[in-house]
Amino acid sequence: MKVFRKTPQQAQEETAGIIERVFSAPSSVWLVLPILVVALVWGLVLEGFNLTAVVSGLLIFAVPAYLAVLVTLPLALALGGTMYWRRSTLLALVTLLFMGLPIILWRIFTAFNYGLGIEIKTAMVLFSFAMTLWLRHVTLVSTSNPSHARSLPSTLTQPLFGIVIVAFYMRFEAREAYLSVLFPIIFALAAFLFLRTVNTPLRKAFGVNGVAMMRHFLDHITEREKNKVGEIEEFFESISSPIDAHVGIVSFKKGDEIKALIIVPSLHPGPFGYIGGSNLPAKLENDLRKVTSNLFVPHGPSTHDNNPSNHNECRKISLMAQNLLHDVEYSSECSAMVRRTMGDANSCAQLFGDSALVLASLAPKPTDDLDFSTGYAAMMEGKTHGVDDCLIVDAHNSLKKGSGYVHFGTRTSRYVIDASSKAVEQALKTRTKGLKVGVANARGFSLDNEGLGEVGIQALVVETGGRKYGYLLYDGNNMVEGLREKILPEVGGLLHEAEVLTTDNHSVNATMGGFNPVGGKMNHDKLIRISEELVRKAIEDLEEVEVGMKTGLIHDFRIFGHQSAARLTSVVNATLHTLRWNAFTNLLVAFSLSALVFLVFF
């Protein structure tokens, strides 16, 4: 029998798919009328087609829902939770919809036993309100406040308002009074046990409150505030481990000023939003604004295990870059950009002084990250040809769902190493003196609608020996399959060789839908047109410069660590896979206990 196991990459994609289920609640204004409609429908089911049905629909169902909308938000905020009008209104509507099941079942029951049906009508309405307490509490603890005690008041608003109105409006004797207390207690305990069960795997594996983490992640997706990452980064810090992180720079200097600076950290710009290393290009740009106004941060060879644990670690990259700048030896020597292919891999190499910059890609074949071991092996192989240093960039420019990593030791990894080595070897034969560099950039793109981060699109053109070579860098998480092959021919008339790169910026994943590569949402013709315009502007900006390259290690740099990302996603996925079954079992027990209580009184 074959056993199919998910790879770490597949597990991470499955977890990332959670974001695809996140949606933005409609405006409260659009939900007011649906609440009224649903309330009137339940009134008709409860009373039949008469005037009483309208009154019952308004009093028993609509009024508690509207009161809950008004009270839930200020109550949740006052007790330290997170809440919005649209979320409060949507919760009231979903709560109202949830109430329909017992009401419909009661109406079906009355068709077979009319007398008993009338007798238990009030009990069924009370049961429907009590049942919604489970839904509201699970929702509010998960999205508003992880504290049961602080979420309970907001949980009780709609059920409590409903029970009070039923007490005055419908038949309400001693047994109904008992049921109005016992039913809510049963479902409150059920909700508590369900949340405890859901939280157990993460608590045992990592010692954290998984429900609280869910609330923080949700807040980060909906609010996107860069300063609201503390609790999440504290968790990642707790599971992190130190490494010696490889960082390289290529500096283009005009006189005493740095015209352009390329930083290639072998660290992964994730996990998402503004957490850890996410949005790394903008973070480094902000730190190095006084050093240069033209900073390029392509993707170094690294996987999700190499995510910086918090934003403070990212500052270490900026400090290392500044330290390396002090030791750079500048030269006017440069080579052609030379491309070589081996199997699925194609690599471009260009010498700057006595060091080589190599861009590795598998395009048009889709793939995700190139691991550091492969990148490091390619660097060492490149140095065997006599260059002082070799810096590898993962072009990260072709992706579709399900694309995997390039792991060291695989045939694809060997292709990358060999292609990079041959490119460096050939580039050494084309060295000339004198080079010019020009830069251009475009910003202001929409994260949601165009899939690009704060840094936007950047173009760097290098001219040497009368030929021009281009680097197009897109601040996004990889690129849709085939788009690179559309861009390169359009800029090919302006350049002798070029490559398309992405930063692998994971801030773009904190959007509704999660999967957001460059070109996934933005019009391709528009993207190509902007790219061509930037190349033209960069050519107009060409100026004579000197260039230097330097690499170094950041000691004790804290990252997620080997297999930490895989372990975390495995635990999350295991929890998700059992979620429905746990919810079904939990509610079944609550329904059974409620049935026993009902039988005692009837």
DSSP 548-600: EEEEEEEEEEEES-TTHHHHHHHHHHHHHHHHHHHHHHHHHHHHHHHHHHHHH
Cis amide leading into 269 (omega within 30):
no
- The verdict on 160 and 257 lying in the same domain is no
Closest Cα to residue 213, out of 572, 510, 567, 570?
A: 572
Are residues 255 and 321 both part of a single domain? yes
- Point out which residues pair with 251 in neighbouring strands: 261, 548
The mean pLDDT of 365-372, rounded to a whole number, is 92
- Residue 3 scores a pLDDT above 50: no
Instruction: With respect to residue 459, please indicate whether it lies within any of the assigned structural domains.
Output: no
107 and 251 inside one domain: no
Question: Do the domain assignments include residue 45?
Answer: yes
Query: Is residue 27 situated within a structural domain?
Result: yes
**Closest alpha carbon to 301 in 385, 405, 426:** 405
Answer yes or no: do 27 and 148 share one domain: yes
Regarding whether 310 and 284 lie in a shared domain, the answer is yes
Whole-structure pTM over 0.75, yes or no?
yes
On whether both 263 and 327 belong to a single domain, the answer is: yes
pLDDT at 454: 93
- DSSP-based three-state secondary structure for 489: helix
Residue 192 counted as domain residue: yes
The CATH number of the domain where 305 resides is what? 3.30.365
What value does the mean pLDDT take over residues 517-526?
92
Q: What are 275's two structure tokens?
A: 């957490």
* 251 and 200, same domain (yes or no): no
Percent of the chain with pLDDT over 90: 61
Write the CA distances from 434 to 67, 353, 459, 545, integer angstroms: 75, 10, 20, 8
46/129 same-domain check: yes
The amino acid that residue 144 corresponds to is: S
**Surface-to-core class of residue 305, CB atoms within 10 Å of its CB (0-12 exposed, 13-18 middle, 19+ buried):** buried
CA angle 19, 25, 26 (to 5 degrees): 140
The mean pLDDT of 488-503, rounded to a whole number, is 95
Distance between CA atoms of residues 331 and 352, nearest Å = 8
| Whether 450 contacts 522, CB under 8 Å | yes
202 plus 249 within the same structural domain: no
Count Cβ neighbours within 10 Å for each residue of 408-430 and write b for 16 or more, e otherwise. beeebbbbbbbbbbbbbbbbbeb
Q: What is the pLDDT of residue 566?
A: 64
Reference 264, options 292, 308, 301; nearest CA is: 301
**Please, are residues 172 and 66 in contact by the beta-carbon 8 Å criterion?**
no
- Number of folded domains that form the chain: 2
Residue 507 resides in a domain: no
Q: What is the extent of the structural domain holding 99?
A: 8-207+569-601
> 559, 561, 562, 500: which is closest to 531 by C-alpha?
500
What pLDDT is stored for residue 201 in this prediction? 78
Position 573 pLDDT exceeds 70: no
Asked if residue 108 has pLDDT above 60, the reply is yes
The pLDDT-based confidence of 2 (bands split at 50, 70, 90) is: very low
Tell whether 269 is covered by a domain.
yes
In a domain, 450, yes or no: no
Structural domain includes residue 477: no
- Percent of the chain, pLDDT > 70? 88
Which of 87-91, 114-118, 208-212, 541-545 has the least mean pLDDT?
A: 114-118
Structure tokens at 53: 């049905």
Quote the CA–CA distance of 442 and 287 in Å, as a whole number: 20
* pLDDT at residue 275, as a whole number: 83
Are 551 and 596 within one domain?
A: no
CA–CA dist 122, 63 (Å, integer) = 17
Query: E-strand spans in 127-279?
Result: 241-254, 257-265
User: Which residues share a beta bridge with 554?
Assistant: 245
Model pLDDT for residues 290-305, shown as the tens digit of each residue? 999 999 999 999 998 8
Could you report how far apart the first and last alpha carbons of the chain are, in Å?
Answer: 54
Q: Comparing C-alpha atoms, which of 515, 571, 576 is closest to residue 8?
A: 571
pLDDT band at 206 (very low <50, low <70, confident <90, very high): confident
Average pLDDT over residues 263-269: 95
The per-residue pLDDT for range 525-554, each reduced to its tens digit, is: 999 999 999 999 999 999 999 999 999 999
- pLDDT, residue 198, reads 83
Q: What is the pLDDT of residue 21?
A: 54
Residues 280 and 301 in one domain: yes
Given a contact cutoff of 8 angstroms between Cβ atoms, the answer to whether 434 and 461 are in contact is no
Judge if 256 and 165 occupy the same domain. no
